[in-house]
Chain A
Amino acid sequence: MSIRRFLAYLITLVGVLCFGSARVRATETPGTRVEAILVWATHVAKTNDTSLKELDPDLAKKLSKRFKWNLYYEVRRKEATVGTKDATHVPISEKCSLDIKDLGDERFEVHLTGKGKPVSRTVESLAHGHIMIVGGDDKNDTAWLIVIRQVPAKK
């Protein structure tokens, strides 16, 4: 077998592999369900604020192990279907939004925008229940957090 013929076979094979994989990707589900939860962390209970509700206990417990605050309120929760082709825009508040893109293998690229200006870009795996938190200090020794994770299966 001549080298030219061998290379032709090899290129054909690689092409078939690429095409086959692309077909598999094309037939995959249209996107991954991802949720972003805006959380307010504080030391002081805000029972009179009806816009706040207590965070899911499991998640609150997880956060309290990491952060110094002992109370976590869910301000807003957004679910979105994230695809591999384009980033999905997820508005979190009037001044803050996320753009999330699926990079494959359960890795996601998260762009944070504040007041219309890009703030940060982070790539993280959200496989096996791994969560990503983007946060910062707020007034009066409180903090804001955005918890990003794949939508967990309903129990």
Chain B
Amino acid sequence: MNFETQLKLQAYLDGELPESEAREVAKWLAHDQEVVLLLGELRNTRQAIAGFEAGVRLPESREFYWSKIDRAIGQLERPQPVAQKRPLFFRLQRFLAPVSGALALAVILGITLLNGNTGTTLGETELASEDMGAITFRSESEGMTTVWLYNRGDSEFTDDPAPDSVELQ
């Protein structure tokens, strides 16, 4: 028995064959015991399946149920928006923003350190001896800074003799 015969027998059982073909199958059944056995088997199988079919009931109307499926299929078929390829600069921007900040900080720090800034104010004078005093005057307009040194002992408020000062010669 070939596959075609088996299918036709199944269709016969389901009552789907036209009358001429149904008669032909009836002839097979009259003469071929194997066909009879297969038909019996198919019938038993159908009955068994029909007996175990659960009576599934939809929680909503049939139309609404299928409309949901239709919408889901429609969404799947909708063309997905293609991610627009942004220029390289914009992609790097997220990376460059913090890096540029850190870089600027590093450069400022580096320049400050490299310039050897001692933190000394221009024109500031330190004296080695407490006996000496200094008056500093700085003028940007005159382009001149004067540091005038004097002996504290030379004050008009004291009669102490002046200590040795910086002698030139």
A residues sitting closer than 8 Å to B (CB atoms) are: 1, 6, 10, 13-14, 17-18, 21-22, 25, 38, 40, 62, 65-66, 75, 84, 92-96, 103-105, 107, 109, 112, 114-115, 117-125, 128-138, 144
Contact = CB atoms under 8 A, between A and B. Distances in A.
A131 B146 CA distance: 9
B145 A18 contact: no
Given A10-B106, A21-B110, A136-B150, A121 B126 contact: yes
Contact of B144 (A75, A133, A144): A133
Interface stretch (B3-11, B46-54, B116-124): B116-124
B107 interface: yes
Interface stretch (B22-30, B66-74, B128-136): B128-136
Interface of B: 95, 99, 102-103, 106-107, 109-110, 113-116, 118, 120-129, 132, 134, 136, 138, 140, 142-150, 154, 164-169
Contact of A17 (B110, B115, B132): B110
Given A62-B144, A124-B122, 5 more contacts: A17-B110, A114-B166, A114-B167, A129-B143, A133-B145
29 contacts: A13-B103, A17-B106, A17-B110, A25-B114, A40-B168, A62-B143, A66-B144, A95-B168, A96-B167, A104-B115, A114-B165, A114-B166, A115-B166, A119-B127, A119-B149, A120-B125, A120-B128, A120-B134, A122-B126, A123-B120, A124-B123, A129-B143, A130-B145, A132-B144, A133-B147, A134-B147, A135-B147, A136-B148, A144-B166
Contact of A123 (B102, B114, B122, B134): B122
B145 A124 contact: yes
Interface SS of A by simple majority:
strand
Contacts, number: 130
A112 B125 CA distance: 11
Nearest to A144: B168
B166 A136 contact: yes
A1 B116 CA distance: 34
Contacts of A132: 144-145, 147
Given A10-B102, A133-B145, A122 B123 contact: yes
A62 B128 CA distance: 29
B164 A103 contact: no
Contacts of B107: 17
B168 A123 contact: no
B146 A121 contact: no
A119 B164 CA distance: 12
The 8 closest A-B pairs by CB, nearest first: A114-B166, A118-B128, A136-B149, A123-B120, A122-B125, A121-B126, A130-B143, A133-B146
Nearest to B137: A66
Given A62-B142, A62-B144, A133-B144, A95 B167 contact: yes
A93 B166 CA distance: 11
A23 B165 CA distance: 44
